[in-house]
A and B are shown apart, each in its own frame.
Chain A
C-alpha cells in the first residue's frame, strides 16, 4: 500500500441540523452497512416515551443517533419576524402557543476528535488514527479493558455486553478506503449529513452559518468547528440551533489527557511521599 500520509487530506462530517428532518435513514444505513446488532437481550425494541427518539443515544450498537427536541420557540428561532396579522378569524384556545413551536432534530455521531481521549488512553493500541484522520477501533486487538468508555468526553464509545469489546463509528473506514462516502451521508435525503475534506466542510459550514444568521436564525451556531477548543476541534462537527446540552452534547468538552502531565507529576510526588514517609516510620526508637 502506498503511503498517503502526506497527500490524503483529513476527512470529516459536517452535520447541518437545520435541515435534518428526523427520518433516521442515517441510523438505518449505518446499522445495515456496518452490520451493527440490536441491543442484546431484547427484541431490539425500546420505547422511551419522551419523543420520537426511541434510540436513546450513541453507544456500542448505535453509531448514528437522531435526537428529537420539542420546544415552544418560533421555528428556526426567527425572533425578528414580528407577530402575525390578526385577521379577526375565530380562534381556538392554545392556537398562539402552537405557532410558537419548533422541533429540533440532529443526527449525532462520534466526533473523531483531533485530540481523542479514547485513543490516548487505549492501552493496547486497538484504537488508532487512520490515514483519513479518523479514529477507529481494531476489533481484533481490543481486549475490552473499557478505559476509553469513561475517557470519552461525549459519551460515544461503549462496551458491547455480550461481546466484551468496545465499538463506535468508524466513519465507514471500509467505504472510505474504496473511495465511497460513509453510509449515513450517502443515505441522508436532505444533505444534513455532509461528508468530505474537513477544510472544505469547515468553509461550507461558515457560509451556511452566515446565511442562517442573515435569515434571522440568530440561534444557529457551529459546534466542534473550532480547532482551538478543548479537543482540538472535531472531525465530525455540527450546526446546531440551540445550546449543545439541549442536544445532549457537552458545552465545552476537554480531552482528559490535557491534564495528564500534571497528574503524572503529582503521582510522582505522592509516590515519593509514600516512600519517604514509610521509611521515616523506621527511624527513632526500636519498637
Chain B
C-alpha cells in the first residue's frame, strides 16, 4: 500500500473520471458524469489523424494548379481569337502556376527524393496518382506553350501545345476536389458532390483575375467574363455545398477556415464587380479587381484546407454524424 494520506479512513479524494468528457470542457480534474446523449469521446481526443500536409504547400498547390489549368483554357481561346496580350499573360501564368505547383507537391513529400515513385503505377482509386499523370501530361504542354510564346522558337508546335494544355487544363483544375474529398476528413468528404464546382469556379475566377491584370483592357473581355462567371459558380456552389454538409459545414463558418471562406466570398465578388464590370473602362479597376479575384481564389483554397483540418481535430465531426446515421438506419 502506498496510500499515505493523513486520514486513512477518508474516501479517496478523487472521483472516477468517465472518459465521456464533452469536448470544449477542457477543465482539469474531475468531470461529473452527465450522460451526454449527443456525443461521447475518448478524453476529447480526435478520432482521425489530421492531415500531415502543410497549408502553404497543399492549399497553395490547389490555388496554383487551378490558376494554371483555367489559364491554359483562356490562353488557348485567346490564341484562337487573336488576342496576343491575353494569350501571353495566360500562358505565362499557366507555366508559373504549374511550376509552383510541382515545387509545392515535391516539397510536401516526406521523402522528396522519392517523387518519381509516384510514377510506379496508374491507380484510379487514388486521385493523387491520377493527378500526377495529369500533371505529367499538362506540365510539359503548358511549359512548351509559354516558352515558345516568349522565345518565338517553334511557333507552330508552341501553338499546338497551348491547345493541348487548354484541353487538359480543366482536368487539372477539377481533379483536386476528389483529391481532398477522397479522405475521411469530414469537411472535405462531406462536400464531395459540390467541391469540384467550387474549385473550378475558383480556378476560373483566378485565371480571369490574372487575365485582367496582364492583358490590355481591349483584349481582356473573356478574362472579365471568366472572373464574373467563376465568382458566380464558386459562391453558389460553396453555399450549396455547405447546406448539404450538416454538422461538417460548421468549420466552413467558424475559426480560421470560416474567416478565410468569408474573406474568399468578399474578395471574389469584389473582384468580379471591380474587374468584370468597372474594368471594362478603367485599367486601374481591372488590375485591382484582378488582384482581388486572385486573392479570393487563394482564400477559398486555404479556407477549405483549414476547415478540413479543423474538422479532423475535433471528434464531434466524426462521431456525431456517424451516430446519426446509425440511428436513422
Contacts and interface: CB of A to CB of B under 8 A. Distances in A.
A281 B52 contact: no
Contact of B322 (A92, A120, A253): A253
Which of A164, A260, A267 counts the most B-chain CB atoms under 10 A from its CB? Answer: A267
A143 B52 CA distance: 13
Given A142-B111, A164-B109, A278-B222, A266 B126 contact: no
A235 interface: no
A165 interface: yes
B120 interface: yes
B109 A271 contact: no
A46 interface: no
Contacts of B164: none
A151 B184 contact: yes
A259 B178 CA distance: 10
Nearest to B49: A155
B326 A245 contact: no
Given A97-B15, A252-B326, A271-B173, A144 B126 contact: no
Contacts of B177: 263, 266-267, 270
Interface string B34-51: 000001111101111111
A152 interface: yes
Contacts of B70: 274, 278
Interface in B1-56: 9, 11, 15-20, 28, 33, 39-43, 45-53
A6 interface: no
Contact of A281 (B47, B77, B280): B77
Contact of B110 (A97, A159, A259): A159
B287 interface: no
Contact of A144 (B114, B188, B226, B319): B114
Q: Name the interface size band of chain B.
A: 35 or more
Interface residues of A, number: 87
Interface in A51-96: 51, 56-57, 59, 67-72, 92-95
Given A71-B19, A120-B125, A141 B49 contact: no
Contacts of A57: 42, 45
Contacts of A248: 41-43, 45, 47, 315
Interface in A139-172: 141-147, 149-159, 163-166
B189 A155 contact: no
A67 B41 CA distance: 12
B200 interface: yes
A153 B199 contact: no
A273 to B, nearest CB: 6
Contacts of B68: none
Contact of A70 (B16, B170, B185, B189): B16
Nearest to B69: A274
A149 B52 contact: yes
A72 B16 contact: yes
Contact of B41 (A155, A157, A245, A266): A245
Interface stretch (B190-198, B242-250, B257-265): B190-198
Contacts of B45: 56-57, 248
B99 interface: no
Contact of A269 (B39, B49, B185, B196): B196
A220 interface: no
A147 B126 contact: yes
B73 A51 contact: no
A143 B114 CA distance: 5
A122 interface: yes
A106 B166 CA distance: 55
A281 B222 contact: yes
Given A253-B184, A256-B182, A260-B178, A285 B221 contact: yes
Contacts of B20: 71, 246
A271 B174 contact: yes
B130 to A, nearest CB: 8
A121 B109 contact: no
A251 interface: yes
Given A248-B42, A277-B233, A143 B118 contact: yes
Interface in A243-287: 243, 245-253, 256-257, 259-260, 262-264, 266-275, 277-282, 285-287
Given A154-B47, A253-B184, A274-B70, A121 B128 contact: yes
Interface of A: 48-51, 56-57, 59, 67-72, 92-95, 97-98, 101, 104, 117, 120-126, 141-147, 149-159, 163-166, 243, 245-253, 256-257, 259-260, 262-264, 266-275, 277-282, 285-287
10 contacts: A57-B42, A67-B42, A123-B128, A245-B323, A246-B20, A248-B315, A267-B196, A270-B197, A281-B226, A282-B78
Interface of B: 9, 11, 15-20, 28, 33, 39-43, 45-53, 69-70, 73-74, 77-78, 80-81, 108-111, 114-115, 117-118, 120-121, 123-129, 132, 167, 170-171, 173-175, 177-178, 181-185, 188-189, 192-194, 196-197, 199-200, 203-204, 207, 218-219, 221-223, 225-226, 229, 233, 280, 308, 312, 315, 318-319, 322-323, 325-326
